[in-house]
């Protein structure tokens, strides 16, 4: 995970989402529990109680889940199939870009230019 700059990995069993293994799982459930990382099995330490999103979920819904569940990654499922993962970083970037675009639009409006 470190080598590939990945903070979470989805765990699939027989084509079905079984859990997520995150950096936090490594720190709390492996290192913090005194387990040997070379022998500890992912299935024993992964997060199994998953909250997922659908493509129709809103950014606001994702933000609420990130806040309430104190998680950083949410699988996105469509008809039970994994189609992606959204991270709190993705949502933060989108929010910043959206606010930046809105501010630019308002700046242009105030200065007399109309943007389309």
What's the total number of domains in the chain?
1
The answer to whether position 1 is within a domain reads no
The answer to whether position 90 is within a domain reads yes
Q: Which domain holds residue 51?
A: 8-110
The answer to whether position 2 is within a domain reads no
CATH number of the domain residue 96 falls in:
3.10.580.10
pLDDT of residue 109: 86
pLDDT of residue 108: 86
Q: What is the mean pLDDT of residues 47-61?
A: 95
The answer to whether position 30 is within a domain reads yes
116: pLDDT confidence band, cut at 50, 70 and 90? low
pLDDT of residue 113: 64
The answer to whether position 3 is within a domain reads no
Is the entire prediction scored with pTM above 0.85?
Answer: no
pLDDT of residue 53: 97
The answer to whether position 92 is within a domain reads yes
The answer to whether position 116 is within a domain reads no
The answer to whether position 73 is within a domain reads yes
Phi-psi region of 15 (alpha: psi -120 to 50; beta: other; left: phi over 0): left
For the chain, state the CA radius of gyration.
19
35: pLDDT confidence band, cut at 50, 70 and 90? very high
Q: Mean pLDDT score of the chain, rounded to an integer?
A: 93
Strand boundaries in 23-96, DSSP class E: 73-78, 81-87
Separation CA 43–CA 18 (nearest Å): 9
């Amino acid at each position: 995970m470190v080598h590939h700059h990945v903070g979470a990995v989805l765990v699939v069993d027989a084509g079905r989402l079984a859990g997520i293994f995150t950096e936090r799982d490594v720190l709390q459930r492996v290192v913090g529990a005194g387990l040997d990382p070379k022998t500890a099995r992912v299935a024993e330490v992964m997060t199994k109680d998953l909250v997922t999103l659908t493509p129709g979920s809103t950014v606001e819904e994702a933000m609420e889940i990130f806040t309430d569940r104190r998680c950083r990654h949410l699988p996105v499922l469509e008809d039970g199939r994994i189609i992606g993962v959204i991270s709190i970083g993705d949502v933060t970037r989108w929010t910043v870009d959206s606010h930046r675009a809105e501010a630019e639009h308002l700046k242009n409006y105030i200065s007399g230019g109309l943007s389309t």
